[in-house]
Amino acid sequence: MNLPEEVRKSVAQSYARAVDQPSPGKSSCCCGPTRKGVTALLAGYTRELLTTLPADAVQNAFGCGNPIALAEIRQGDTVLDLGSGAGIDVLLAAKLTGPSGQVIGIDMTPTMIHRARANAEAADLTNIEIRQGIIENLPVESNSIDLILSNCVINLSPEKPRVFAEMFRVLRAGGRFVISDVVAEPLPSWIKELSQLYSACIAGAIPETDYLAGLRAAGLVDVAVRDRLVYGRSELSALIDSELAGSSCCGSAGLSAETIAKAVEALAGTVASIQITGRKK
């Protein structure tokens, strides 16, 4: 999986399978350790908050944090969600920005776009627009966005500098961003080649220092990590579905128990989910 289009195609297929063929007890394709309970799947979201949303948006959420918690969304804001999936963060943002604001979700997977639109309708929120596109080439007007959100998506991009440049382009002067994502210390080459671990938000992760440097190189300022959770062996085992080796939703062939154990041992303590904030000057 070296060519960007091949990576994007593989990721899109993995998430479509995860949504179209859910399997209780398996891990989500990205970052959520289990489907058995929303509190485990959706770290950072309260149960009370989740009960205000359509069940489909919650059950098909794949994230590694709650960017809404740090976003300080204002009435009338124009908000952009990179990789909006089934719409959980789009829905929450739309409630906060109110009818005078607008929330735009971008996703490349037709299945996710259909579900997000249906969930917006079910929630009776009319200030939401879901657009199909890739985050490396956003179908969004320049200098038009007050706030960018993204939840465990940019790590999946094979062209992260393009994503950071697009963020800068679409933000208004003074516009801000909140990202929840997975980072990792330099990965062994054999792990980078496992497509299942790419869709599981591991093989495409880059070091935290490179991630922050990429945002700054794009022209974004006040870039800072606001929270960090380092994954140990148990979290990594859940993340890549070690209990159900060979039947992971994140790849057509699955991984052997031996390969998963080897990956967990190699990665323990080197992978983390972080929350990053910053702005356009």
Q: How confident is the model at residue 43 (pLDDT cuts 50, 70, 90)?
A: low
Give the integer Cα–Cα distance in Å for 131 and 113. Answer: 7
Residues 149-173, mean pLDDT to the nearest whole number: 97
Q: Which of 60-64, 104-108, 200-204 has the highest mean pLDDT?
A: 104-108
Give the integer Cα–Cα distance in Å for 208 and 223. Answer: 12
What is the longest distance spanned by two Cα atoms in the chain? 54
Which residue did the predictor score with more confidence, 49 or 19? 49
What burial class does residue 95 get, using C-beta atoms within 10 Å of its C-beta: 0-12 exposed, 13-18 middle, 19+ buried?
Answer: middle
Say which range, 30-44, 226-240, 246-260, has the weakest mean pLDDT: 30-44
Say which range, 31-40, 65-74, 151-160, has the weakest mean pLDDT: 31-40
Give the integer Cα–Cα distance in Å for 19 and 59. Answer: 9
Of 60, 61, 89, the closest CA to residue 73 belongs to: 89
Characterize 64-91 residue by residue with b for buried, 16 or more Cβ atoms within 10 angstroms of its Cβ, and e for exposed: bbbbbbbbebeeebbbbbbbbbbbbbbb
What burial class does residue 253 get, using C-beta atoms within 10 Å of its C-beta: 0-12 exposed, 13-18 middle, 19+ buried?
Answer: exposed
Q: How confident is the model at residue 244 (pLDDT cuts 50, 70, 90)?
A: very low
**Whole-prediction pTM:** 0.89
List CB contacts of 202: < 8 A, sequence separation 6 or more: 182, 184, 187, 191, 239, 240, 263, 267, 271
List CB contacts of 204: < 8 A, sequence separation 6 or more: 7, 155, 156, 157, 158, 198
Give the integer Cα–Cα distance in Å for 106 and 116. Answer: 10
User: What CATH number is given for 4-229+271-280 in this structure?
Assistant: 3.40.50.150
Q: How far is CA 24 from CA 4, 33, 38, 72, 88, in A?
A: 31, 12, 12, 34, 19
Angle between helices 208-217 and 160-170 (to 10 degrees): 40
Residue 139 is predicted with a pLDDT of 98
175-186: pLDDT as tens digits = 999 999 999 999
Q: Pull the structure tokens for residue 214.
A: 């990429």
Q: Give the other-Cβ count within 10 Å of 133's Cβ.
A: 14
- Which alpha helices (DSSP H) does the chain contain, by range? 4-20, 38-41, 47-50, 55-59, 68-71, 88-97, 110-122, 160-170, 189-192, 195-199, 208-217, 233-239, 257-267
Give the domain ranges of the chain.
Answer: 4-229+271-280
* pLDDT(232) > 80: yes
Give the integer Cα–Cα distance in Å for 99 and 208. Answer: 36
Q: How confident is the model at residue 12 (pLDDT cuts 50, 70, 90)?
A: confident
Please report where in the chains the tokens 């917006």 appear, as a residue: 120
Q: Pull the structure tokens for residue 177.
A: 């961003």
